[in-house]
Structure 1
């Protein structure tokens, strides 16, 4: 049955898209099933799970943030707007009852939000000292196991060296906005990161630069093993390719190489470790990655959700969980984030269709 999803207009230039996906065209491993969870979240991006059957969704739609209330069986009951008028509020993070929202140069918080969904509180600013540039200025945010809020600051360009101005970095701060410090450098634009449950180390996706051709450079999956690591941008790409302009006189061995090359221009975004019990044991501890899809590649790449299995700090496998958002060269969906629910099912946001899908497993 073809889903009646509404195509959301992107704020950025994007390739032409065909009709929304027929759900039967989406391909998953045996035993997995996918369905539209809701189609009432325009430009849906990062998701965050509350403690009382609520999923919060950031967006680029008129500065809105949404709250999706769902029943014990996982079905959606109501979609509300809990904030509006914010600048590109793509990132959301739920922490101790409060909802933190990224808004380019600011981070704001809605206090005790689940008890005020019908009358949300006014956003409280915890910091307004982040850069104002909007190129790579929207931010995926998350609280780490150290109880600190992690906030990326993307490069305000395709390729440039502005580290001294605080760009191309991943930072962390206290929940009240104080104590900001740099965690990692040389990161062009990370729009997805999570901490591995077994050792609490941070793993993140990073989007490679454009305009070096169809096949260079690859997007990256990176692993932070110590504070202050430099991951190469803008000098070295994908761990082994010097930039034609900024790489002169540099050596890629001086920077931390990616754990995995994800593919050129796939636009790897949201990434979460799976800890649920619903999926088969082979998915326990795997990293699930949303690939938003290329915008300037001759033959499109990405437009899928991938599973990265690890063996220690090495990649054991990299294989699709959901494919079928491409019909030839016609794209019908763009996965932006992934978010497990407490019951072990997995949500996938699709900002092109203003939808969230739910993946379940049954033998």
Structure 2
């Protein structure tokens, strides 16, 4: 979430798990959606194991979940808690049989986890030198094509200047050694991925609050070289100086976003779609989960979006999945997306405590409860 205040308000205002309402969702023609599991409270980042296990981080009592579909039905028939009592373990990343977990100030690992789902090992500490602040302290994590683990360090505030100690992205070796800074001026990224082929890193970033309904926009960014600065807290959305910290600064000195995603949409997890199940126009597109606004007079976000690219330029930005809120009332909040090997797409929802599976079948009728746009 975008601020600690948001976290407190949302927990106070929302039920622990809202009811899943698939009949309220709409998708492009030919797309369908079903529940993969509705037993994952506060589901956040998704990672895939080598044997097909779906790992899901959460902020529910410090738990991490393992979901298995042993029959190939497209639904998880077993949900296991493989870790508990951790501090906001929303981030999960799988590498060489091991599951890495973010826990605010620590990165932990469960060794050889897919062979021990029923008797999970005790988490080992990989690195415990991250800041202890929980404000933007819960972390999306991922391994890059360089085999290094990338970890964000969010700004511990709505808007502040902490130099290069915060508001950045770092990477380190799988054993926790060799930590180095990758990019700066990133308020709070809760989603990043690498483009197949070029291996360039693309990431979302949540804009600051308390500048009004329409300012500033969340961002979709691309990293071209290590050490780039993306503007926070001096310049927002590539073209707007901060009223306090922007004095004497110039937005031209910072890397602008590839795309303005919209104000307060709370853009989180994203992945490039490389499967063959969806129509060809989705190949190479970015799929982005937008968690939804908490501090806007009219809600924004609460949807999953498709960004098609022409080179490094945006060709289109349109909904894949929407309907998580109607009439300013939300029942779901997308947090992450993850394509599966069969070309379908998982979507986590931390408000309904569910993971959904989006499929495409041009000639098939939609499953009960899943709506397609005409």
**TM-score normalised by structure 1 residue count:** 0.95
Count of residues in Structure 1 that have an aligned counterpart in Structure 2: 353
Alignment of 1:283-322 (within 5 A): 283-322=282-321
Q: Does residue 66 in structure 1 map to residue 62 in structure 2?
A: no
Q: Conserved in 1, the CA contact under 8 Å of 2:20 and 2:352?
A: no
Distance 1:169 1:12 in 2: 24
Alignment of 1:192-211 (within 5 A): 192-211=191-210
User: What is the deviation of 1:20?
Assistant: 3.1
User: Residue by residue, what CA displacement relative to the aligned partner does 1:241-268 show, whole Å, maximum 9, x if unpaired?
Assistant: 0000000000000000000000000000
Distance 1:36 1:191 in 2: 24
Partner of residue 54, structure 2: 55
Distance 1:57 1:21 in 2: 18
Distance 2:35 2:163 in 1: 41
Partner of residue 133, structure 2: 133
Partner of residue 267, structure 1: 266
Unaligned regions of 5+ residues in structure 1, if any?
1-9
Q: Conserved in 1, the CA contact under 8 Å of 2:35 and 2:75?
A: no
Q: Does residue 13 in structure 1 map to residue 12 in structure 2?
A: no
Distance 2:114 2:95 in 1: 11
- Which stretch has the larger CA shift, 121-130 or 14-23? 14-23
Partner of residue 25, structure 2: 26
User: What is the deviation of 1:53?
Assistant: 2.1
Q: Conserved in 1, the CA contact under 8 Å of 2:37 and 2:75?
A: no
Q: Conserved in 2, the CA contact under 8 Å of 1:31 and 1:361?
A: yes
Partner of residue 113, structure 2: 113
| Secondary structure of 2:93's aligned partner | strand
User: Residue by residue, what CA displacement relative to the aligned partner does 1:294-327 show, whole Å, maximum 9, x if unpaired?
Assistant: 0010000000000001111110000000011111
User: What is the deviation of 1:362?
Assistant: 0.2
Partner of residue 215, structure 2: 216
Q: Conserved in 1, the CA contact under 8 Å of 2:308 and 2:316?
A: yes
Partner of residue 352, structure 1: 351
Partner of residue 189, structure 1: 188
Distance 1:124 1:140 in 2: 18
Partner of residue 95, structure 2: 95
Distance 1:117 1:35 in 2: 25
Distance 1:172 1:17 in 2: 35
**TM-score normalised by structure 2 residue count:** 0.93
Q: Conserved in 1, the CA contact under 8 Å of 2:45 and 2:56?
A: yes
- Deviating 4+ runs (over 4 angstroms): 15-19
Distance 2:149 2:46 in 1: 15
User: Residue by residue, what CA displacement relative to the aligned partner does 1:44-98 show, whole Å, maximum 9, x if unpaired?
Assistant: 0000000112100000000000000113342212000000011000000000100
- Which stretch has the larger CA shift, 298-307 or 323-332? 323-332
Q: Conserved in 2, the CA contact under 8 Å of 1:47 and 1:338?
A: yes
| Secondary structure of 1:12's aligned partner | helix
Distance 1:141 1:347 in 2: 17
User: What is the deviation of 1:31?
Assistant: 0.3
Q: Does residue 149 in structure 1 map to residue 145 in structure 2?
A: no
Alignment of 1:71-86 (within 5 A): 71=70, 72-86=72-86
Q: Conserved in 2, the CA contact under 8 Å of 1:11 and 1:60?
A: no
Tell me how large the CA RMSD over aligned residues is.
Answer: 1.2
Distance 2:297 2:254 in 1: 30
Unaligned regions of 5+ residues in structure 2, if any?
1-5, 363-374
Distance 1:297 1:76 in 2: 36
Alignment of 1:144-183 (within 5 A): 144-164=144-164, 166-183=165-182
Partner of residue 322, structure 2: 323
Distance 2:168 2:285 in 1: 25
Alignment of 1:326-345 (within 5 A): 326-345=325-344
Distance 1:16 1:300 in 2: 15
Task: Point out which structure has higher relative CO (alpha carbons under 8 A, 6+ apart).
Answer: 2
User: What is the deviation of 1:12?
Assistant: 3.0
